[in-house]
Structure 1
């Protein structure tokens, strides 16, 4: 209803257009953006990972394991000093320490993990510039 009002369409016409955009593959999903602090996940950590080998098997094993890390919001293959960057949300420093000791240290094929605790989030958006 809010979207229809915002784009000056009737709700049924708006729904038809949204359905068409979904079928065309332009809309992947409809989501709610939750408040991390309210949910006890206020600490944001960026993690740089270097693998000990650059083989398809080592990348595949790491990616499967990384997808299971508690609080992992994103995982990207990158160029440069690291092979991957992960974005992880956790409650606080103590919970991140536990995550590090119980999960991150056991990721397969990892030579080095460097963690960067976010002090202040300056910009975070889901909007793609059109």
Structure 2
């Protein structure tokens, strides 16, 4: 399915206002409520909309620090990669983990309370992951840009 201009307008609004009512969305993009509802259902069914979430304020829940961890594995074999990925998927504090091209094999993103909280996560989980040859951690000093919205 190709996205037309109306689909893109729907997606732009829903990315920033996921709780907007169908009636308000329909009015905003100049469609009837029934046509708008059908389009949103089709966008969901076709996988353009993968879900709806509440975005939490990490500071308010006590996790103001962002940490990025670069992992280099001892080998690129399928067994080592699979074992690492299964292990990292079980860590409750991991927000994102990406297989990378470049200096590191994986990049992990965490939100932590402070350095002591990160040390706990490191000892309990990260240091026990299989296949790690090197690990480098960096604390973000300030977030300059943060969005979940894709440019359409």
What is the TM-score with the length of structure 1 in the denominator?
0.91
Which of residues 54, 66, 86 is equivalent to 1:32?
Answer: 54
| Shift of residue 92, structure 1, vs aligned partner | 1.4
Q: Give 5+ residue unaligned stretches, structure 1.
A: none
SS of structure 1 residue aligned to 2:118: helix
SS of structure 2 residue aligned to 1:111: strand
Greater C-alpha radius of gyration: 2
| Shift of residue 126, structure 1, vs aligned partner | 1.1
Q: State the Cα deviation string for residues 11-56 of structure 1 (Å, max 9, x = none).
A: 4443322111011121111122111111122111011000011100
Pairs aligned (count): 130
Partner of 1:96: 118
Q: Give 5+ residue unaligned stretches, structure 2.
A: 1-20
1:126 aligns with 2:145: no
Distance 1:74 1:29 in 2: 17
CA RMSD in angstroms, aligned pairs only: 1.5
